[in-house]
Amino acid sequence: MSIDERPDTQRLVHGACHHDCPDSCGWTVTVDGSGPRPTAVKLRGNPDHPFSQGELCPKVNRFLDRVHSADRILHPLRRTGPKGSNEYEQISWDDALDEIATRLHDVIDTHGGEALLPYSDAGNQSLLSMFGSGSRFFHHLGATRLIRAICGVTVGAGLSVTNGSGASLEATEMVHSRLIVLWGTNTRLTNRHLWPTIEEARSNGARIVVIDPIRTLTAEAVDAARGDRFVQPLPGTDIAMMLAMMHVIIREGLADDEWIAQHTVGFDELRVAVADWTPARAAEVCGVDADVIESLARDIATTRPTAIRTLIGAEHHENGAMFFRTLACLPALTGAWRDRGGGLSRSVGHWTESQIDLAALTRPDLMPTDDGHLPRSVNMSRLGEVLTDLEPPIHAMVVWNCNPLVTTPNAELIRRGLERDDLFTVVHEQFLTDTARYADIVLPATTQIEADDVVFPWGHLWVSYNEAAIEPMGEACSNTELFRRLSTAMDLDEPSLFDDDEVLMRAALPTIDLAELRRERWLRAPYPEDGRPYGDPAGATPFSTASGRVEFASAGLESIGQPRVPTFVAPSEGVGAAGDIRQRLPFQLLTPKHHTRFLNSGYAQLPKHGPAEGGPFVEVCPADAADIGVADGDLACVANDRATVEVVVRVSERLRPGVVAIPFGWWGDDHRDGHVANSITNDTLTEWGGGVAFSDTLVAITPAPVSTGV
């Protein structure tokens, strides 16, 4: 049966995937109306979608299993046992709202609005689901403000120092490239719909370079016979390699002097800064042979067009912002922005999100001020510290769109915070996640096919309308409806708290014809017609730095106590760790996205997803396994001062000696001791930008004690 051949009782509804993924695929839902209630019976990729072209990933292909799961939360729940016990009773929405309203009013009356913490992230990246009316609600109450910087924000902060914004090359423009450098991105797994573009470029003669501390699925596509290469630096050392590459480019006269003179400032300072960064020096830091660094530098400088493609993984180091600030210097140094298919490609959020008036949704004007004082801010990555050591304390927290006990670093400290008797916690969710099990009240949330929304992708230019295919299951409600109900229950009188979804969409999208978007299903965001975001013709995007040029040297960085020019500073919990920490904790832990059937903490608990991936494991190279005294399939304890995680050993050739990996996303139930990968990860913040150093985590590994069965 084709996409348009359906029984008379069925209709086709168009939507778009909402996940934290650059691909934002188009889909269609077949709805059967023959029963007493319309039911979604099929979900497939939309073959007409300009980017995803009908293909969905193994997660979303089974999305209806998620919608119809027997484990889904469909009614409000009240905790009846200890926090974390998973003991709940079903209650009515009226009872749930009354209890929440009473408790929140008590907290505000006793401790002030700042004792209330909203905690949400990108579990659903659609416009209303992610931003909606939640910010209005919490701003009106004077709640503590959340800095959402666990992913992405640091990348933009780094790029903005060099280029003035995060504007970058639209990824499908790489079809014109002749050298594609995939730096810190596992494209074939985490950006799968871009891979056909790369393959088309390769068929036209392009070569690829994959730079990653893990020999990923993408690295396996490297074909040395056709000139591809895989480069495997030690984690957190890429900046040293970039500085050495710039050293080579300048030393050998390969810089584009004309472009530099016209479009940059600070070149002389940069030249001095990289003068001592010889490939030999960088090789000692990053573990990549000097001749490889030399050759890579020449290739990038002499191959036109050259595109560097990166995503967000590299930001998860203490020097994460400097990584992207330094990386942005390379295409400026070589003049790669001259060429169609040249430059740096990261996110197209600059282009798609330019259509959004975010202030119209979040209404920052609702935040109460006292002599110019705004409510305090906390960083989401330090949630454990916020819940256990903040003064004055947080006494109530509302969580939606995320599962921080699995996705946020230093998770055992978060768990201790959630266990507090004096913390009232509300979670709006689809399943009883690790976080939801510590909630006092759990409220049922809709899935993507149960609510209208608009999806703004960050991996391509096609903004999509997501039409609700079915009515909410059970008593579930959308994020926006949740805050309208809470506003009513709390007797709030600010009119904007009650705006319906249509009003919210129109306010947030002043330049988009919403009727046209619904009719056409997707619209292409504006992007320079010649494909060059920083090209020479009039109308190209300007560099929006203070100087109006690419800034190899930045006074703005100096003003926040950071070096004016690109500089390598080793992470304090990583390759350059000082003191005895490396003796106690000799292995650097990475927690990558590894799985094809679940994303972050989503889907891991579903029967056709998590079990198909096996179970949690620690990946080590053969030499390290021999030194530790473990073999493939053995149990090992991976530990540091934060926690211990007991996992199965998987011996492989994908990692260098001294580097180990535990793919993150498994829930506590999947781990023998209930601890997850993020129980041991580092919550140190990046040097600027507010990100967090997941990947600067040191651990010790020992064979697990043999159980006596007693």
- Per-residue pLDDT at 165: 93
Q: Per-residue DSSP letters for 93-150?
A: HHHHHHHHHHHHHHHHHHH-GGGEEEEE-SSS-BHHHHTTTHHHHHHHHTPPEEE--S
Report which of residues 373 and 269 the model is more confident about: 269
Residue 377: Cβ-neighbour burial (10 angstroms; 0-12, 13-18, 19+): exposed
What is the edge-to-edge ordering of all strands in the sheet holding 522-524? 453-455, 462-466, 522-524
Q: Which two tokens stand for residue 284?
A: 């000692």
**pLDDT tens across 601-639, in order?**
999 999 999 889 999 999 999 999 999 999 999 999 999
SS3 620: strand
295 pLDDT band, cuts 50/70/90, is: very high
Q: Indicate the helix (H) or strand (E) that contains 700.
A: strand 697-703
- Per-residue pLDDT at 538: 44
**pLDDT tens across 632-662, in order?**
999 999 999 999 999 999 999 999 999 999 9
**pLDDT tens across 456-505, in order?**
999 999 999 999 999 999 999 999 999 999 999 999 999 999 999 999 99
Predicted confidence (pLDDT) at residue 145 exceeds the cutoff of 60: yes
Predicted confidence (pLDDT) at residue 195 exceeds the cutoff of 60: yes
Measure Cα distances from 600 to 149, 242, 434, 451 in Å.
Answer: 16, 29, 13, 22
Distance CA 546, CA 554 (A): 9
Domains along the chain with CATH numbers:
10-67 (2.20.25.90), 77-149+360-524 (3.40.50.740), 154-346 (3.40.228.10), 581-703 (2.40.40.20)
- Give Rg (Cα) of the chain: 25
What phi, psi does 172 have (nearest 5°)? -70, -10
Q: Which residue(s) pair with 40 in the sheet?
A: 31
577 pLDDT band, cuts 50/70/90, is: confident
* Beta strand 635-639 pairing with 697-703: antiparallel
User: What is the mean predicted confidence (pLDDT) over 684-690?
Assistant: 96
**pLDDT tens across 226-259, in order?**
999 999 999 999 999 999 999 999 999 999 999 9
Distance of CA 485 to the CA centre of its chain: 29
HSE-up of residue 37 (Cα within 13 Å, Cβ side): 7
DSSP state of 205: T
- Per-residue pLDDT at 595: 86
542 upstream amide cis, omega within 30 of 0: no
Instruction: Using the structure block, give the residue that is written with the tokens 């002749």.
Output: 178
Q: Which two tokens stand for residue 634?
A: 């053995």
Q: CB–CB of 168/347 below 8 Å?
A: yes
User: Which are the contacts of 563, defined by CB distance < 8 A and separation ≥ 6?
Assistant: 557
HSE-up of residue 210 (Cα within 13 Å, Cβ side): 20
| CA quadruple 332, 338, 340, 344: dihedral, nearest 10 | 10
- Per-residue pLDDT at 1: 43
- Per-residue pLDDT at 598: 86
Distance CA 402, CA 410 (A): 16
**pLDDT tens across 434-464, in order?**
999 999 999 999 999 999 999 999 999 999 9
**pLDDT tens across 510-557, in order?**
999 999 999 999 999 999 999 999 876 544 668 999 999 999 999 999
CB atoms within 10 A of CB 578: 9
- Per-residue pLDDT at 101: 98
Q: CB–CB of 417/433 below 8 Å?
A: no
pTM for this model (two decimals): 0.96
- Per-residue pLDDT at 8: 85
Q: CB–CB of 380/148 below 8 Å?
A: yes
User: Which are the contacts of 61, defined by CB distance < 8 A and separation ≥ 6?
Assistant: 43
Q: CB–CB of 143/375 below 8 Å?
A: yes
- Per-residue pLDDT at 5: 64
